[in-house]
Structure 1
Amino acid sequence: MAEAKIDIVGQNELPTVVRLYKDVFTPARDEAFFQRRLLGRHNPLVLLAFVDEQPVGFMVGLELKPNVFFEWLYGVLPTHRRAGIASQLMDAANAWANDHHYEYSRMECHTRNRPMLHMAIARGYDIIGIRWDNDRQSNLVIFEKELTIVA
């Protein structure tokens, strides 16, 4: 397991997220794609994972509603997968959401992304629904996890 350094960064680091995204997903997206998604959103969160000072993964999230944090997008470079980096990003996102008094963390995953489906279930997320993604022409599984709020 790689021990990644997970940093909370500002939206000024979106160019780094865009570079990572291009190496993880197709089609590539530009910075404006991320800026539009975060525009006017409460509590946007951008995390970067570093190994040996090099960015190897990211997570972008935002408030879905006052008690639910939405983990919108995860990505880990193919060369660094299966090393626990996505799990570390997920733990950091959940800790941040818990610290900001969210009761639930929600995420969606395409049905063909088996490793992410398995990871969500293994990390305590429940399946709460399914929806059709017109952009990718496939189903998304909707996951939610109750966070432990410490008063």
Structure 2
Amino acid sequence: MTQAQWHIHQGSIDDMLVVEQQIPEFSNPKTREQILQRLAGRTYLALIVSCNGQPVAYKLGFEQAPKQFYSWLGAVIPAYRGQGMARALLLEQERWCREQGISHIEVKTMNQFKTMLQMLVSHDYHIAELTPPATSSQTLLDVQIRFRKAL
């Protein structure tokens, strides 16, 4: 499959939820209610990658403070990974944020998501904070990492 067969567009929460439900790494996929509650009263951006009219990836974020954007959720359905969709979404989100006058983007991920960590570091996101595992049954893979990028 080539990039010409997929495209990025601003979409809906429903489009995002189609993808969210197909991500095996998400033990507790977000619900419509959780998402709408978090976005209530905020300016947000829901980017969707569609392939043949079907949502296959998304990136959702919102302005969490003046000039500060939080890239909250994102995922690519496993069968569509490795085609540059996550990178394309990241770059489109940055472009949109610059247009809106946003000065920096923050994103959190877990130590277990190696591909995401590599992508963030390779696009000049810097570690701003580490949150250790919450319980003794968790491992280093459960460390949460907050990244920040100045635009």
TM-score by length of 2: 0.86
1:133, distance to aligned residue in structure 2 (A): 7.1
1:52, distance to aligned residue in structure 2 (A): 2.7
Partners of 2:49 and 2:56 within 8 A in 1: yes
Secondary structure, counterpart of 1:33 in structure 2: helix
CA distance in 1, matches of 2:133, 2:96: 28
Gaps of 5+ in 2: none
Q: Residue 141 of structure 1 is aligned with which of 134, 145, 151?
A: 145
Secondary structure, counterpart of 1:29 in structure 2: coil
CA distance in 2, matches of 1:40, 1:122: 33
Partners of 1:67 and 1:101 within 8 A in 2: yes
* Cα deviation digits, residues 48-88 of structure 1 (max 9, x gap): 01123221101110012112111101110001111100001
Where do 4+ consecutive residues of structure 1 move more than 4 Å?
none
**Match for residue 8 of structure 1?**
10
* Cα deviation digits, residues 94-117 of structure 1 (max 9, x gap): 000000001111111111111100
Q: Where do residues 56-95 of structure 1 align in structure 2 (5 Å cutoff)? A: 56-95=56-95
Partners of 1:2 and 1:51 within 8 A in 2: no
- Please identify, of 23-32 and 115-124, the stretch whose mean Cα deviation from structure 2 is larger: 23-32
Q: Where do residues 15-26 of structure 1 align in structure 2 (5 Å cutoff)? A: 15-24=14-23, 25-26=26-27
Letter in 1 for 2:122: A
Q: 1:2 to 1:88 in 2, by over 3 A?
A: farther
CA distance in 1, matches of 2:10, 2:90: 12
1:16, distance to aligned residue in structure 2 (A): 2.1
1:124, distance to aligned residue in structure 2 (A): 1.2
Aligned residue pairs, count = 142
CA distance in 1, matches of 2:54, 2:125: 29
**Match for residue 46 of structure 1?**
46
RMSD: 1.9
Secondary structure, counterpart of 1:23 in structure 2: coil
CA distance in 2, matches of 1:26, 1:107: 20
Gaps of 5+ in 1: none
TM-score by length of 1: 0.86
